[in-house]
Amino acid sequence: MHDHDRGLAHDLGRLQQQARERRVALRWLLGAGALTVGGIVRSDIRASIAGATGVATGVPPQVIIELVNANASCADLSGYAIYLWQCDAEGRYSMYSSGATAENDLRGVQATAGDGIFSIAGSVGAGYVARLQVGIAA
């Protein structure tokens, strides 16, 4: 397993390290199943956060996921945190891949709405088919 495949819990440590190096404060708010970490909860993941300045280029697709309970007649699941991260147009993962370790763009968290919908803007480069990875937490 690659570091960029380890998910939100692993990435939060890297984000905190980047913020310390840039002398930027990260706010951690936990409550009622919600998580906010200095900008990681967002609807557009193209720009870096926590003092990093990278911005992903490419076509900005809107990723829409509906989360349902397959064991309960596909009832919508609201309030679930979905962490989505993807590679850039060159196949690099921010924070982990050579040439992108100082950045943290193309990763973010959204909670599913009352209808189970998760929606976030990403980026797809013309020369590379982006890989999207998703982690879900109740």
Q: What is the CATH number of the domain that holds 25?
A: 2.60.130
Q: CA 109 to CA 96: how far, in whole Å?
A: 18
pLDDT of res. 133: 64
Q: What is the pTM of this model?
A: 0.71
pLDDT of res. 97: 92
pLDDT in tens, 116-125: 888 888 887 6
Total domains in the fold of the chain: 1
pLDDT beneath 70, residues of the chain: 9, 16, 18-38, 125-138
pLDDT of res. 21: 66
pLDDT of res. 29: 36
Domain containing residue 26? 3-137
